[in-house]
Structure 1
Amino acid sequence: MDGFISAATRFAPSPSGFLHLGHAYGALFSARQATAMGGTFLLRIEDIDLARCTQAYEQAIYEDLRWLGLTWPDPVLRQSDRFPVYHDFLHTLEEGGLTYPCFCTRREIRTEVANAPRAPHGPDGALYPGTCKHLDPMIAKDRIAAGQVHAIRLHMDRAAHMTGPLTFTDLDRGIITVVPESCGDIVLARKDVPTSYHLSVTVDDAFQQISCVTRGEDLLHATHIHRVLQTLLGFPTPVYRHHRLLLDSQGRRYAKRDKAITLQALRKAGKTPQDICQMVGEDTK
């Protein structure tokens, strides 16, 4: 944890729905990790998707977490307040020749991947095939000037060449070697959302001096991306704990889109914070 003044963890939900048991597990896990390190538990609101995130859901997050007995220092960092900051770091990557504009629609990308028998794949599925990577810069500039919608992608080959070999430490899994080619040229910003999860999370973890990042094991692969961005932007590298995912009675992970039972509903049904701790597992390992 070199480069950090003190120990800190964070829980960073998106206010696009009510918290469920999976969120409770993640929050308690992070808070207990902070206690184990003698550090601080921080709350961050990841609300870059302005179309889906609401103030009502944000207030419900505060209410649910306080009901669970969790506390955190104020002020709470809200990512929607920091778009100019993310833009500055995106500009740093652009100035370094590490990005390129992508004019492909999601449908066009799906079609190209389907038509390519050897399309590159990562752990999360097909990767962007690089259609716009070698587009003539003057043509790209003209298309942008004409107002054509585009995203900004990270040129992962160049990024990996610049960073050299990388690793990160997961406290439960040991030292993990970063595999940049498994990530592809990820999106850093779009017209409708001027940043991305990967960019904003990396910037904010560094800004908040998060020395131990705790999150679900479904985000283990995302850490490969974040290590690359940390190195490119000169940020310190935290240690990680990727915890197990809490599953429902059908063996599926709790998710907002599946209308998982919310903490608010459980509270109204008479459940106590102690009941919730028992439901998610007291040891949170």
Structure 2
Amino acid sequence: MPPSVFRFAPSPNGYLHLGHAYSALLNFDLARRAGGRFLLRIEDIDATRCRPEFEAAIYQDLAWLGITWETPVRRQSEHFSSYRDAVERLAAEGLIYPSFESRAEIARLVAQRETKGTWPRDPDGAPLYPGTAKSLSIDERARLIAEGVPYAWRLDMAAAWARAGELGWTEHGEGPDGERGAVTALPGAWGDVVLARKEIPTSYHLSVVIDDALQGVTDVVRGQDLFWSTSVHRLLQDLLGLPQPGYRHHRLIRDAGGQKLSKSTAATGLRELRAQGATPADIRDLVGPP
């Protein structure tokens, strides 16, 4: 039987904090207990926010914690062709479509709809896509693309969900509202999510399922803030014929006010704590048991 494969996949858009430490240590410890493998993946698709110094700091902080990982490290920015192939496949199957509204235009559309009542929002609180790009003709889409108008590739959620049918996963951790065991996936709650953009041929949702499959990840262990994202991931796995890993969502480390930690919260940054004399054992005490 092949070994279990765990991964920690931070984005180098800031310095790691206690929440990252908890997730990295949990994955590393679970991999060791299972006699499995531990991978580090750098999710750096956002070239405007990801910086080399943050990536270097990730390696330094994890090594200081006593975490070791297999090399080479997969950096998403080096594998855009893999994601582009998936986008082209979904486009050929009529499951995605280009939308041409800017973020400002989408905000205006949402505001207009909210004058007539509440507009639905996804599990993260963002408004669902309110545009009508799905109704554009093939010729009109081709014209806009040829003119160089920026666009995003959106999943036609209704068509995709109808093709996949009922989906779910077994939750080995706990969801934000205590969900355990068999969980029904509800991808429709996210609306027509963005899977790629003209300038970046992927998104978090798309790249994470492709990378997990290509790297043979068997156990996805991550924070509860990503619990309902699993619905989209299960749908994409089904559409692309990718294997389903096991899922375990863990509690979030929060600040004194009960808020989820941010990379801008200096008081909980690993570099700051280390500079103040904290030891790796201190970090384990601060984040607490799994």
- Distance in 2 separating the partners of 1:6 and 1:166: 26
Matched position secondary structure for 1:266: helix
For residue 188 of structure 2, what is the amino acid of its counterpart? E
- Distance in 2 separating the partners of 1:39 and 1:215: 17
Alignment of 1:167-246 (within 5 A): 167-172=168-173, 173-246=180-253
Alpha-carbon offset, residue 26 of structure 1: 0.9
CA contact (8 A) 2:5 2:219 kept: yes
For residue 112 of structure 2, what is the amino acid of its counterpart? N
Bigger relative contact order, structure 1 or 2 (CA pairs below 8 A, ≥6 apart) = 1
Matched position secondary structure for 2:222: strand
Matched position secondary structure for 2:133: coil
Structure 2 gaps of 5+ residues are: 174-179
Task: Give TM-score scaled by structure 2 length.
Answer: 0.93
For residue 59 of structure 1, what is the amino acid of its counterpart? A
Alpha-carbon offset, residue 232 of structure 1: 0.5
* Structure 2 partner of 1:155: 156
Alpha-carbon offset, residue 260 of structure 1: 4.9
Distance 1:259 1:267, change over 3 A: closer
Deviations 1:209-241 (A, max 9, x none): 111101110001111000000001100101111
- Distance in 2 separating the partners of 1:122 and 1:195: 20
- From 260, 284, 287, give the equivalent of 1:253: 260
CA contact (8 A) 1:254 1:260 kept: no
Matched position secondary structure for 1:133: helix
CA RMSD, Structure 1 to Structure 2 (Å): 1.4
Structure 1 gaps of 5+ residues are: none
- Distance in 1 separating the partners of 2:131 and 2:171: 31
- How many residues align? The count is 280
* Structure 2 partner of 1:121: 121
Matched position secondary structure for 1:165: coil
Instruction: Calculate percent identity across the aligned residue pairs.
Output: 50
- From 40, 50, 53, give the equivalent of 2:50: 53
CA contact (8 A) 1:120 1:129 kept: no
Distance 1:145 1:5, change over 3 A: farther
